Chain A
Amino acid sequence: METIYPGRYRHYKGNYYEVIGEAAHSETMESLVVYRALYGAYGLWVRPKAMFLEAVVVGGRAVLRFEPVISIEVWRAEAGQNGEGYFQQFEVPSREPLSVMTLLAKVHELDAGFACRTSTCFKGKCGSCLVKVDGQETFGCVKLINPGAKVVIEPSAKFKLIRDVVVDFSQPLNTGEEVEQR
């Protein structure tokens, strides 16, 4: 059966829940999902896994009862603002792990003003997808983020910022670290 990723899920009625994990029923060995409401009394619930994963019909359309979402906090900065900026939150529903580059493209779909690079070799080789993921310099095309997870994406600190998460690779910053020039 499908993997249950821990983390944030959206109920089809709009409320959010945090999945804590999978559990087994001590008497029947049935798989259960343990989760907490992220509203009201923050109640703790269990539900059979098969039922947790099923689709319900709403207005004639099948939708997931619980859909995992990836929560993204992404750096926004105008050109020429020299480090001045802020974090903006986005949410991308996905039942599969997605690469950081895919997430950035999805953020761009949600907000066309968001600037990110699009060149992707999908092999972690070329290097133009360099960003900071949860504080670490990372090649975004090969870094996968699980459904339900939260991720913070910032521009690389090794090069001069152009806008949002895009840096100018022809202008390395003096970070004391050796920067590979190609």
Chain B
Amino acid sequence: MKITQTLETDVLVIGAGGAGLRAALAAAESDAAVIVTNKGPVGKSGITLTAAGGMQAPFHGEDSSEHYFQDTITCGYHLGDQNLAQALAEDACARVLDLERYGVQFNRNGDGSFALGQFPGQSRPRNLVIRGGGIGLVSSLARRCRENTAITLLEDFFVTGLVTAGRTGERQVAGALGLNLKTGVLTLIKAKAVVMATGGCQWLWQVTDCPADATGDGVMYAYRAGAELVDMEMMLYCVAAFS
């Protein structure tokens, strides 16, 4: 099979779930040209859509990022990466407000404050509810990406691997190779930076409640290109029933 199309961009984002679309908007706001690829139709495939739509942020008057951090570390039996937990705890409120700016709607109380639920593991009410759940989240972000002329969405585009360039020992990721599933055209996308925003690999297990897209392609491509993987044993399931 021959490469018959070459595209060039500043930032290539692989995966158009919540993470990928948000990354694309951030890159575009920094004046970068962005290509986002997704192996299915954007807004109609992937894992984010099936999320119930809860999001935690310490907006409550008696809550703080310190409480959020402590709860996260304690409930994780001190297994969690504390740097990541800290970033999550400190940035959560700002990210919620970003999402609102992008058109995502959260449930609010009569007085206009965020409606906050208290979930297991939370020492203060901290759970915000996105209207429309995961679909509400992705459809708002996708709409913003479609409206942004700096962002090109390549839907039904299956990335098959990352490409690297540079001298031996100093090789860097320089883009990705993929198949345009609509046309069958093998395409090279050259990029100054690549954001891997694909989902997990829950389909390693025979029994899973995760969408069929969760095959870990991106994790594998990154590993093959030399990336170091962390915490691969931490697999997210949201188990509602055992039988």
List B contacts of A118 (CB < 8 A): 212
A121 in contact with B49 given A128-B41, A169-B41 (CB within 8 Å): yes
Residues of A within 8 A of B45 (CB): 119, 121, 126, 128
Choice from A122, A123, A169 contacting B44 with Cβ under 8 Å: A169
Verify if B42 is at the interface (C-beta below 8 Å from A): yes
Is A106 engaged at the interface, CB distance under 8 Å to the other chain? no
- For A157, the chain B residues whose CB sits under 8 A away are none
Q: Which stretch (B29-37, B86-94, B97-105, B134-142) binds chain A?
A: B134-142
The prevalent SS among residues of A at the interface is: loop
Q: How far is the CB of A63 from the nearest CB of chain B, in Å?
A: 25
Tally of B interface residues using CB under 8 Å: 23
Q: How large is the interface on A (under 10, 10 to 19, 20 to 34, 35 or more residues)?
A: 10 to 19
B211→A119 contact, CB < 8 A: yes
Which residues of B lie under 8 Å from residue A162 when comparing CB positions? 182
Q: A117: CB under 8 A from chain B?
A: yes
- Say if the beta carbon of B20 comes within 8 Å of chain A: no
Q: Find residues 9-46 in chain B having any chain A CB closer than 8 Å to their own CB.
A: 39-46
- CB contacts (< 8 Å) of B71 on chain A: these are none
Task: State which of B42, B43, B134, B211 has its C-beta within 8 Å of the C-beta of A120.
Answer: B211
Partner of A127 from B44, B142, B143 at Cβ < 8 Å: B44
Whether a CB of chain B sits under 8 angstroms from the CB of A182 is: yes
Q: Which of A117, A123, A168, A182 contacts B43 (CB under 8 A)?
A: A182
- Between A and B, 14 residue pairs with Cβ closer than 8 Å are A117-B40, A118-B212, A119-B44, A119-B211, A120-B212, A121-B50, A122-B211, A125-B49, A125-B134, A126-B135, A128-B44, A181-B143, A182-B43, A182-B139
